Structure 1
Amino acid sequence: MTYHPVPTVRRRRLGSTLRKLRTEAGMTLDAAAEALNAAQRGRAGARHWSAPKLSRIENANATIRATEVAALLEAYAISDAEVRAALEGLAKDAGKRGWWQTYRGVVAPAYADYISLESDAESVRDYAPLVVPGLLQTPDYARETIAANAVARSPAEVAALAEVRLARQAVLTRPRAPLRLWAVIHEAALHRRFSGRPAIMTEQLLRLLDVADWPTVTLQVMPIDAAPNPGDAGAFTLVGFPGPMPDVVTQENLRGPVYVEGADDVNVFADAFGHIVDSALSPDETKALIAGLVGKRAPHREHLPSAREPA
């Protein structure tokens, strides 16, 4: 399997944001390149900039240093410290090797891109009509669902992919600014059966009840008898970022994630998620429904670990 070490979605986010800020500043590519050259004039190791080179940056076909981003933001009159720090940090991290690269033999480039997005994000809005979102899965549930979908994978690869999925969940409890998750799960996904292992779903339901009380998690269930709504079109995930950086939508299939970018297209999904939320049960109704499902599975609750919120 070929692995591309550069998180290309990070590059696209940085490039599109720089293009947006340049346009808002009323500068052409030539003017921006000249401003960058002037800012670096006489500096050791400075690169010469031209309109085509800057265009390649904006189109994610080349890299840019954090110091060069800082010079561009100065030229664009961007004084917001949070915005500057976010974009300079993104430039530093554009080619950063993340923890997931330990698994590069089984993690495809598109999936690695998604994990890098998730690690940078401040929020995720997830509509899951068929399975519990990966950020909320228990170890057994993760292994079973991955094995069912990764039909061409060996048992060792399935185990590695399950480890990756569980490791991703650290974003929910990171010390600084834990990820805010808003998940809407279709009720049908909560009735999933695992042949001969009913405790898997019981444990997963208990996990959902636990995280539903976390201050950074909003959990809703789409009831089976809900009226038609945009969720009928299928699963999607909206990944949100701080500052001026654009949000990204991902849609999963058997070949991996597909990305939707561009404000107009992303807004379609943001609007759809709003309608989905309105059609779903409230968080309190959701907890009551899940608790009822756990009660029906009471004979299978023995010896199940509690997924309590980390300190």
Structure 2
Amino acid sequence: MPADPNPTVRRRRLGGLLRRLREAAGLTLEEAAAHLECHKATVSRLELGRSGVRTRDLRQLLVLYGVTDEERIEPYLKMAKQGRESGWWERHADGLRPAYTDFIALEAEAAEVRNYQPLLIPGLLQTPAYARAVIGAHPAVVTEEELERRVEVRLSRQALLTDGRGLRFWAVVGEGALRSAVGGRNVMREQLEHLLSAARLPNVDVQVLPCDVGEHPGGSGPFVILTFPLPEESHIVCEEGLLTSVYLDSVEEVKSYASAFDALRAAALGPRKSQDMIAELLTDL
């Protein structure tokens, strides 16, 4: 199991799942290592995603942790294999922050994405012109070539909504995001038209959080909750900052953000009324 100082997000997710299985089985790192006849540091690196895992060793660990059904084992084996593969985004890795490529990899494997955006249209719902205006305003983007590369990546991500694999996307968007003059009137008119069209997709729900809603639990800023059904249901929260992102995956952290998102949904307009508001703003433009 060669060490990797920059573990892929897929390896980290597999390692986190194995850690939870070990803890649920009441076993220590030492006991798991003794079963594999290796040092506990080897198992620790695996759980941190800093090393790959051989199929034989993965099977042994799963059986030790009580996962014996072949149908349950197979998704773990698939994850381990994917951890050694490159995604389409890797060809852009030189021009993207590692935290962003991590997010793209997670997003590509999620079954459900819940996104709260108070001030901007979510990336999966942006038009090319809107994305170009938003990305171009970022202080880390310094060349036209870099700008176009990042816009290309953002638009490539959007295939998740229409490629037929069934991603469920739920967005709560602040009213301020709809009223901002990002890129000018023409850009915003096109963006609202696109947002309205996307909101009518069967796998997409868009809810608008009105400016006059009062206090709500979204004051800490935008966040995304990603849900993965296999091998075991798991969730990861991403808080995106100006230059970096924070990933949270403990049960308590995910529960807090899920509760916050539910409260935001309850405070926001329903999907149909949200579409009506977007249409009204389009008429004003």
**TM-score in terms of structure 1 length:** 0.84
Percent identity for Structure 1 against Structure 2: 40
Cα deviations across residues 13-41 of structure 1 (Å, max 9, x unaligned)? 21121111122223333443344x4xxxx
The CA deviation string for residues 65-97 of structure 1, in whole angstroms up to 9 with x for no partner, is 344323321222214555433322221122421
Partner residue, 1:21: 21
Report the number of matched residues. 281
Contact map agreement 1:7 1:116 (CA 8 A) in 2: no
Q: Which amino acid aligns with 2:154?
A: R
Aligned to 1:166: 155
SS in 2 for 1:232: coil
User: Taking structure 1 as reference, are residues 240 and 151 closer, same or farther at Cα in structure 2, changes over 3 Å only?
Assistant: same
Query: Is the partner of 1:237 in helix, strand or coil?
Result: strand
Work out which of the residue numbers 217, 220, 228 in structure 1 matches 2:215.
Answer: 228
The residue number in structure 2 matching 1:208 is 195
Structure 1: distance between partners of 2:219 and 2:239: 14
2:53 is aligned to: 64
Q: CA deviation at 1:259?
A: 1.6
2:95 match: secondary structure = coil
Could you say which residue in structure 1 is the equivalent of 2:204?
Answer: 217
- One-letter amino acid of the structure 1 residue matched with residue 138 of structure 2: N
Alignment of 1:20-39 (within 5 A): 20-35=20-35, 37=36
Partners of 1:173 and 1:109 in 2: how far apart?
26
CA distance in 1, matches of 2:62, 2:268: 42
The answer to whether residue 280 in structure 2 is matched with residue 269 in structure 1 is no
What's the CA shift for 1:296? 1.3
Distance in 2 of aligned mates of 1:82 and 1:129: 41
User: Residue 168 of structure 1 aligns to a residue in which SS?
Assistant: helix
Equivalent position of 1:309 in the other structure: none
Please, which moves more after superposition, 70-79 or 139-148? 70-79
Confirm whether residue 183 of structure 1 aligns to residue 171 of structure 2: yes
CA distance in 2, matches of 1:283, 1:194: 23
94 and 5 in structure 1: CA distance in 2 versus 1, 3 angstrom threshold: farther
Equivalent in the alignment of 2:246: 258
The answer to whether the Cα contact below 8 Å between 1:7 and 1:94 also exists between their aligned partners in 2 is: no
Equivalence for 2:266: 278
Q: Secondary structure of 1:219's partner?
A: strand
Residue number in structure 1 paired with 2:97 = 108
Offset from partner CA, 1:226-270 (integer Å, 9 cap, x none): 121001221111111113253111111221322222111121111
Match of 2:116 among 116, 127, 130: 127
Larger Cα-atom Rg: 1
Distance 1:151 1:50, change over 3 A: closer
In structure 1, list runs of 5 or more residues that go unmatched: 38-47, 298-311
SS of the aligned residue for 2:219 comes to helix
**Any conservation in 2 of the 1:10–1:117 contact (CA below 8 Å)?**
yes
> After alignment, is 100-109 or 181-190 more displaced?
100-109
**1:95/1:111 Cα in 2 relative to 1: closer, same or farther (>3 Å)?**
farther
| 1:290 counterpart residue number | 278
1:44 maps to none
Q: Any idea what the Cα deviations from partners look like across 1:87-130, whole Å, max 9, x if unmatched?
A: 22221122421111111221121111111111111111000001
State how far apart, in whole Å, the 1-side matches of 2:252 and 2:117 are.
22
Q: 1:58 offset after TM fit, Å? A: 1.5
The match for 2:75 among 86, 89, 103 is: 86
Corresponding residue number in structure 2 for 1:241: 228
CA RMSD of aligned residues (A): 2.0
Unaligned runs of 5+ in 2: none
Change (3 A) 1:82 1:258: farther
Could you tell which deviates more after superposition, 217-226 or 101-110? 101-110
CA contact (8 A) 1:126 1:182 kept: yes
Q: Work out the CA distance in 1 between the residues paired with 2:118 and 2:182.
A: 17
- Residue deviations 1:169-210 (CA, integer Å, cap 9, x gap): 11112333x211110000010012145x41111111111111
